[in-house]
A and B are shown apart, each in its own frame.
Chain A
Amino acid sequence: MSLRRTSGDNCDLARSVTDPRAFERVYDAYATRVLAFLARRTFDAEAARDLTAETFAQAYQGRRRFRGSTDDETAAWLYGIARNLLNRYIRTGVVERKAVERLGIRVPQLVEADYERIVQLAGLADLRAVIAEEFSRLRPDQQTAVHLRVVEELSYPEIAQRLAISEQTARARVSRGLRQLVAGVEHVPGMKEGLA
């Protein structure tokens, strides 16, 4: 992997420690990419917007901790923050806003164009098509199990009862089905961006 190396002084994130205005260039370079990264994983434009704002707010507040000197290291650091926030959001269902609030950032409301462009940016339409195609390739019993688990949000005991199978079998069908879907989705452009 070749790093796009810049000199330490020319790395905008490092320079923003002493010159806060340099952070604007970091934002310009990465805001849309981070938004797309988050939108592809949350499937929620508002959550993606809030997570993006918090990601950059935390990056701004913690920029002294950044030890890198390249663009790739800047990207890795930003995506690291975004992933942490995303994981917390997935776990708790709540978007953290501490840094945004501390900095007094007023996160803009989304307008209709935002929703359209976020969907477009994240390639969600493409993603849906890919998922639909991959889903159709699953074995029928896996399709049913994944549908009951993901769409109807049934518990494994409920799935087992509905399909007259053991709970262990239900888990196996869902697990294998999802694994196959993920493998198919990984080919969608941009899905791997930000992955460690």
Chain B
Amino acid sequence: MSAVEPPFIAGLRQEFERVAEADATAGRRAPRRTPRLRQFRLSIALPVLTALTLLVAIAVVATGAVTLSVDLGGETELPVSRSPETAFGMELVDRVAVLSRERTARDRIIPELMMTGLTELRPAASLRVFPPSGADSAVDDAVKMWLVPKGEDRLVLVTWAKGAAKATVVADVDRAELLRGRAVADIANYVLGLVPDGVERVTVTTRDGRETVLPVDGNVFAAPIEDGPHTGLAWEGMTRP
């Protein structure tokens, strides 16, 4: 057999000789943990940890330590937490849950709530308070607004100032008013309002007779206003006092 031994066999032998010699000189024994075993452990470590985490989470929820679910159809359970933000979030989601299929700010709120798991509830960025067209004032994005369902027939317009512990309900209206349009100016220095689906801009007339065009986002418009309560509201040729 050795008569036909290919030359490379001897070269490979020298390589193993070198490795074995190095291990013998260093006093190294065969590794206790084999590479395959290490790979196996790595390959199962992550799934096992993930499964354990899920089991713990399920156990926590099952034992009532934390309840978390968002049922878009109606009933909703919310996480029990004492922070004002989360408490408000719970209330908010309770209202969001009864908003069925109407195209309102719900479309943005719900994914956001679901993604944040409520504990980091944030206002919808798209519902910022816009400045009047042509006004010098900067956009005030410190106040965010949501239009939120409340029961079957009513909607609430809420604002949440940046850093505030809780939101402020600035309007509590019938759904029908959304179709008719309504301006709300009861919050200091702001004109706020609700308009039907599809309206993109509204024209607000203030007491001094000046007209301001405001963009609409999610059925809501809002802008800082310095001249007191508005006197008129118009969109698409319609005017509402």
Segment of A96-104, A131-139, A169-177 in the binding face: A96-104
Q: Does A186 contact B (CB under 8 A)?
A: no
On chain A, the residues within 8 Å of B6 by CB distance are 32, 35, 110, 113-114, 117-118, 121
Interface size class of chain B, counting residues whose CB lies under 8 Å from the partner chain: 20 to 34
Segment of A1-9, A17-25, A71-79, A157-165 in the binding face: A17-25
Q: Does B50 contact A (CB under 8 A)?
A: no
Interface size class of chain A, counting residues whose CB lies under 8 Å from the partner chain: 35 or more
Contact in complex: B35, A102 (CB < 8 Å): yes
Knowing A60-B16, A64-B34, A102-B35 touch, does A21 contact B21 (C-beta < 8 A)? Answer: yes
Contact in complex: A32, B1 (CB < 8 Å): yes
A146 to chain B, nearest CB (A): 31
B5-23 interface with A by 8 A CB criterion: 5-9, 11-13, 15-17, 19-21, 23
How far is A118 from B35 in the complex, measured between Cα atoms in Å? 31
On chain A, the residues within 8 Å of B16 by CB distance are 23-24, 27, 56, 60, 105
Checking A21, A27, A110, A117 against B24 with a beta-carbon cut-off of 8 angstroms, the contacting residue is A21
Knowing A61-B35, A98-B35, A102-B35 touch, does A32 contact B2 (C-beta < 8 A)? Answer: yes
Checking B2, B12, B29, B35 against A53 with a beta-carbon cut-off of 8 angstroms, the contacting residue is B12
Q: Does A120 contact B (CB under 8 A)?
A: yes
On chain B, the residues within 8 Å of A17 by CB distance are 29-30
28 contacts between A and B (CB under 8 A): A16-B30, A17-B29, A17-B30, A18-B29, A18-B30, A20-B30, A31-B12, A31-B13, A32-B6, A32-B9, A52-B9, A52-B12, A61-B34, A64-B31, A99-B35, A102-B35, A105-B12, A108-B7, A108-B12, A110-B6, A110-B8, A111-B8, A113-B6, A114-B6, A114-B8, A120-B4, A121-B4, A121-B6
List residues of A whose CB falls within 8 A of some B CB.
16-21, 23-24, 27-28, 31-33, 35, 49, 52-53, 56, 60-65, 98-99, 102-111, 113-114, 117-118, 120-121
